[in-house]
Every structure is written in structure tokens, then in C-alpha cells.
Chain A
Amino acid sequence: TIIGAGGTAPNQALGAEHSQPLHAYVMGIPGLKICTAASPDAAYGITKSMIRDNGPCFLFCPVKMMKESKGKVDLDKCMPLNKAALLHEASQSAVDSGNAVTVLTYLHGVKEAQLSIDEIKAEGFDIDLIELRTLKPLDMETISKSLARTNKLCILDESTKSGGVGATISAAVSEELFDLLDAPVKRLCMDDAPVPYASSMEEAVVKRGADLVQGVFDICTKKW
């Protein structure tokens, strides 16, 4: 079991080498179970399961959230290594009017998405926020349940366009859940360029809450 605090937080100004998505690089290694945890209870539960698991496992935690993230932990509870978590459900009215989007995210994106829910609602939209606690294997069941309601998918991804986590998910969804999609999968990910140090430029490269609000707006107003 390897536990690492990493990821690519928005607005960290660390330059190219410290913004590389290791979680994306290991996705292709067969036999690994790769999970992410953005809250203490997830970190605790997943770690317990990983230690008891007989195979090699990777747990990624968001480095810039380690100090501030607080919450209750269910002691002695082991969490499953193949289940995503639905953190916020879109209201039925938003779903019925076609203004709901399924948002998949992980690591720092969880905090970014949670903080932008109010703004999204103010714009007249809503989201089913799913934290991908497991990147590999992907929990297609939870994703398809939500997609059946919203029919639109947006991924807030902290890896690059080429070979990133979002790319893998987008491909899997289009292959297995094509009939549930009313729009192409929207991927908010990093460009294929070294992440710049200057904060003014980093803003455009590392996608964050504001980009999610725009993405939800675009996908619901058919801008693709």
C-alpha cells in the first residue's frame, strides 16, 4: 500500500515539475488498485481496506487540503475499494428541466466543486457531484445511475489532456454508457504544456471551480 499526498492543486504556483499528475501516470499499470481520498473519513476507510488487501494499492490524497480538511471518521470501518461517493444530489426539478449535470471529480477538485455548487444553483443549474474515490477500478454503476438522471457528464480532472484520468473515464463512458449521453463528455483538464509558475497563466491551465461553473453552463446550453 502506497499513500501519497500529491495531485495538482489550483493556484499552487509550484511550476512544471511539482504539478505533474502522478495519479495519471500510474493508471496504466495492471494489477494496481488506485484510490483517492479528499476527506478524513475516506482516507481512513480506504487505508484500512488497502492494508488488508493482498495486492498493491495506491492511495492519493490532495496535498493542499491535508491541513484544512476536517470531518468525522467512523472508527473500525473499512471502505470498499471499488465504490465512488455521491456527495451532492441534483434536485429533481433541475433534473426534470434538463439543467442537471453529473460531475465527476477527485482530489482537489472535490473542494473546488463543493464550493461552486451555490454559484451553479444561482445560475439555474444543479449537479450530481460524484467523488471518484476509486480511479481504478472505475465505479461505473454509480456513474451510470447518475447519468441516467442527468444525461450529461462533466469531469473536473487534475491531469493532462493526453493520457489523463479524465481521458480514460471519458472513453469508458462513451463505450459503455453511450445511450445515456445527450452531449459529448465535457473534460476540464490541463493542457499538454508544462504548468507555468506565473499565477496569471496557471489560472488558465489548472481547472478549478470557476471553470466548472462555466463548463456546466456550456454543456446545458448546448455549447460544444
Chain B
Amino acid sequence: MISLARSTLNASRRMAASATATASPQFQLASRSMSSEATFDLTGSFETHKLETAPNNEITMSKEELIGHFKLMYTMRRMEITCDNEYKARNIRGFCHLYDGQEAVATGIQAAFSPDDSWITSYRCHCIALARGGTVATVLAELFGNSGGMTKGKGGSMHFYSKENNFFGGQGIVGAQVPVGAGLAFANKYNAKPGEDMNVAIGCYGDGAANQGQIWESANMASLWKLPMIFCIENNQYGMGTSIDRHSSHSDYYKMGNHIPGIRIDGMNVLAVKEGMRFVKDFCGKGNGPMYVEMMTYRYHGHSMSDPGTTYRNREEIAMTRSTRDPLEFVKKTMIDAGFADADEIKAMEKEIRKEVQKEVLKAKEFPLPAPESLFDYVYAKDLVAENQEMPNHIRMPNYEKSFWAS
């Protein structure tokens, strides 16, 4: 068991070592004097498959941006720890799958994407719900089962959703979100305006889900129809309690698309995730077809709150990851090295966020319980055809004369 854990750890260590060795940022002298923008080296953060181009080996980021990323990630971390405590206090029931350790993935994707890109993910979705239009209060209220929650208390931990923010869940069944994601990509391609890049769709799933038959099927269709679909494997080394060596005959998930290009990104480095996803979004949005993205990441908690997380991996591994590859520590170090903030400022930010999160939790507890009559709300789609709704002009019906085809 330990030797297996070590071999997977070594694979991720190799990637991490090359990333962290060069990740103490080397910035150009010109920007140093301003201390409001810096360029960071990303060598070793990417491995590509069937690609002639690759993400840049460096990224320039402003002080505001990086601090913003840190604040979002720290909020995510505090929120997940709060969920842990609230679950143990039985204020949250059912299943609860925590995302701490993986914050850089969600933050980096959100930073690279536009609000019009579609995002669908698995049940490990609290932080992505937060990033996509949620607040700590609406997320926690949902977990408490109150009407103030993102899905009005009816969804719970696994069924977050926000259509106006193009966040499509929060899905309970392993791997089932991926064909739906391919459908979202299809919709984006269908609705794309000629001459512009398409909005992309990303379907996040775990290493445990990666061998689901439906994923291979949707990859086939996405490739055939050149859909702007991103198959994003959040590889945290374990499918529930089974390490990747024991559940997958092939662990290079970014190569699983065969002819479909793929890229492996160091998922503990938010800068690498952002630059990598910028590259992927550009590639897919221009109609080159889908891409497989493998995020090398790690989760500190067990699979869910009913899993201590130590029966299939040793504590040494968890502690080792926390001390050498923690995404928050990395961002903090990056900010200090770039002169964006010093240790005291960061401590102040953390304290502020801790207080904020606590306030939001109390706010979440105050919402009323959902009304029983709301059970039948949203079971059927509202009648979408208003009398004078304007159809986009590539649709021929109901008025052919008005459509693009008549000209």
C-alpha cells in the first residue's frame, strides 16, 4: 500500500518539483520598481499530448489580480473548513464532499474563463458554486436546507446550480455530468456568432470517473463535431478510496483522448492553471475541437465526510502535500516574493476573510425553511415561448422572412 502511494506521490512530486523549483518567481527588473505587476515563470507546469503549440512558460499578473485570486482561494478554504465543522454539528446532512486542497483549480479556471463559458462539475462543487455567482451565505444556506440557498434548499451539497452564471451543477452521479457538458458545448457552438470565437464548455470530473463509458462516447462526438468542449480531469490521485494505480490501467489522463489533444497542468499552482486554461480556451474556442485537460491536484479531506481519508493513504503523504504543495502557501509566497504584499498584510487579509466567512455563516442560518408548496416549482420548464419573443436570426421558424436564410 505504502509503495503504491509512494509511486503515485513520486509522479506528482516530479511535476511539482520542477514547478516549485522554478516557481519562486523571476520577475523582470522593469516591473520590479512598480511592484504592481510581475511576470512569473511557469516552466515545468505543462505537459502536452498531440499539440504543436503549448501555453506560455510565463504569465504576467497585476497585484490586484493575484491578491484577488488569493482572497478567493482563502475564502474557499475557510468555507470548506466551516462546512466540515457544520457537518459534524449536524447542521449539514446527507453527503458532503470537500474541495480543500484543490482551490487553485477552480480559481484558475474562473480567472481564465469569461462569464459566458459554461461550467459543469461533479458533487465536489461548493467552491465552484462560490466562484460562479455564489456567496458564502447562499452556499451555506443551501447546505443548511434553507430557502436562501442557491437552489432554494432543495438541492443540497450535490445539486448547486446557477443558470444565469452558466454554472450547471453540482451533479450527483459519477461521470454523468460529462455528456451533459458536451451538450453545453454543442449549444455554445450552435449559438456562436460567425466570426467570433465560440464560448467553451468545461466538464470537470475526477480520476475515478475518467474511465466511465459515457465519457469516451461524448469525447467521440465532441471530436467528430469539433465541439468547444474541455474534458477536465481533476486528478487528486484517488477515486474515493482507490488510488489511481489500482483503478486505472492508464494514469496519463491527459492522453486518454487518443487523437484528441491533451495537456497536463500543475493544479496546485493557480498561475499555471490560469495560463494553461487561457491556452485551452483559445484552442477550443477557435474550433479546433475538444481538449483533455488533466489537473494534478490533491484533496486533504477524505472523499466525503464519512471517509476519514487515512485508510487508503498515509498521513505522511497528506502532511507532505500540505507542507510542500499547498496552493494557498504557494500564492502567499508568490505575492511576498513579487513585492505585492508582505506577511503582515497577508495576515490581515486572512483575518478579514475569516471574519467575513463567519458573518456569512450566521447570515445563512437566518433564512427561513423552504415552503412545502415549493416542491413542485421548477419541475417543468416555464413556457419559454412568449408572444413577441425575438428568435435569433439563424432560426428559420416561425417567421422565415425575418430570418438570416431569407436574405
Binds B, one of A89-97, A106-114, A195-203: A195-203
A204 in the interface, Cβ–Cβ < 8 Å? yes
In the complex, whether B173 has a CB less than 8 A from a CB of chain A is yes
Given contacts A196-B375, A197-B155, contact A14 B369 (CB under 8 A): no
CB pair A201 B155 closer than 8 Å:
no
Tell me if B372 and A201 are in contact (CB < 8 A): yes
Known: A13-B94, A198-B154. A205 touches B375 (CB 8 A): yes
Complexed CA–CA distance, A4 and B15 (Å): 40
Beta-carbon contact of A201 and B370 below 8 Å: yes
Q: Is the CB of B158 within 8 A of A15?
A: yes
Minimum distance in angstroms from B57 CB to a CB of chain A: 42
A193 lies within 8 A of chain B by Cβ: yes
The docked-state distance in angstroms from the alpha carbon of A201 to that of B371 is 8
Contact A197 B172 (CB under 8 A): no
- The reply to whether B94 and A198 contact each other, CB–CB distance below 8 Å, is no
Q: For residue A200, which residue of chain B has the nearest CB?
A: B369
With an 8 Å Cβ cutoff, the count of chain B residues facing the other chain is 23
Provide the residues of chain B in CB contact with A145, threshold 8 Å.
none
A15 to B, closest residue via Cβ: B156
Asked whether, in the complex, the Cβ of B146 is within 8 Å of the Cβ of A197, the reply is: no
B330 vs chain A, min Cβ distance (A): 34
| B171 A193 Cβ-Cβ under 8 A | no
Interface residues of B in 109-168 (CB under 8 A from A): 142, 145-146, 153-159
Is B93 on the interface with A (CB-CB < 8 A)? Answer: yes
Find the A residue at minimum CB distance from B176. A17
A200: chain B residues within 8 A (beta carbon): 145, 369-370, 372
State the main secondary structure of chain B at its contact with A: loop
Whole-angstrom CA separation of A148 from B374 in the bound complex? 41
**Is B376's CB within 8 Å of the partner chain A?**
yes
Q: Is the CB of A17 within 8 A of B159?
A: yes
Q: How far is the CA of A16 from the CA of B173 in the complex (A)?
A: 11
Note all chain B residues with C-beta closer than 8 A to A197.
94, 142, 145, 153-157, 159
Q: Taking the complex as formed, is B95 at the interface, i.e. its CB lies under 8 A from any CB of chain A?
A: yes
Closest chain A CB from B275 CB (angstroms): 35
Contact assessment for B156 and A13 in the assembled complex, using a CB-CB cutoff below 8 Å: yes
Question: B-side interface residues toward A, CB under 8 Å?
Answer: 93-95, 142, 145-146, 153-159, 171-173, 369-370, 372, 374-376, 379
Interface residues of A (CB under 8 A from B): 12-18, 191-194, 196-201, 204-205
- 10 A-B pairs with least C-beta separation: A197-B156, A198-B145, A17-B172, A13-B93, A13-B94, A198-B153, A196-B154, A15-B156, A200-B369, A14-B94
27 A-B pairs, CB-CB below 8 angstroms?
A: A12-B94, A13-B145, A14-B156, A15-B154, A15-B158, A16-B159, A17-B158, A17-B171, A17-B172, A18-B95, A18-B172, A192-B379, A193-B375, A193-B376, A193-B379, A194-B154, A197-B94, A197-B157, A198-B153, A198-B154, A199-B93, A199-B145, A200-B369, A200-B370, A201-B370, A201-B375, A204-B372
Known: A13-B94, A18-B94, A200-B370. 18 other contacts (CB 8 A): A14-B156, A15-B94, A15-B155, A15-B158, A15-B159, A16-B172, A17-B173, A191-B376, A193-B376, A194-B154, A194-B379, A196-B154, A197-B94, A197-B142, A197-B155, A197-B156, A200-B372, A201-B374
